[in-house]
Structure 1
């Protein structure tokens, strides 16, 4: 299933900047960055629970926010792109 993860982490302190780096690092394990604080993650239901648990352990809910958009398994018709594309299609063939 495709899940879009967005986040806003307060970076006014060094602890906030560290949280921001950790959130991005965890998101990169599960998906690919499509905008600065937006990741598209193709995950199993169990990976989705783990992702949410790992991120919740890092963010400070007084200052930061996380949003999850579950697009399901038939997500391709739900995504429209305009402008510069920063990602590789998840279900396409990748050539290096």
Structure 2
């Protein structure tokens, strides 16, 4: 999911749709290989502004275990995912 400046929304969405399925507005999901995951993160980092934009990656290994990685501005706390 992402929250980026309107100037970069179309670029971020277009890049993410090359790897994932668009779910709604700023949310995409799908299975992705480790290599493509790293490639997508690098490409997104080139598009966004770290001091203004926020992109969050959720990695769900099972329903019991998950991890979360944020690129750019952190806009939320470390609460549990509900």
TM-score normalised to the size of structure 2? 0.71
CA distance in 1, matches of 2:11, 2:33: 22
State the Cα deviation string for residues 12-33 of structure 1 (Å, max 9, x = none): xxxxx2x211100011000111
Tell me what 1:47 maps to.
36
How far residue 41 of structure 1 moved from its aligned partner, in angstroms, is 2.6
Please give the TM-score of this superposition, normalised by the length of structure 1. Answer: 0.61
The runs of 4+ residues in structure 1 deviating greater than 2 Å are: none
Structure 1 stretches lacking a partner, 5+ long: 1-5, 12-16, 79-96
Measured on the aligned residues, the alpha-carbon RMSD in Å equals 1.8
**Structure 2 gap ranges (5+):** 66-82
Q: Deviations over 1:17-70 (max 9, x none)?
A: 2x2111000110001111100000311110100011110110001111010000
Say which one has the larger Rg.
1
> Higher relative CO (CA 8 A, sep ≥ 6), structure 1 or 2?
1
Corresponding residue number in structure 2 for 1:63: 52
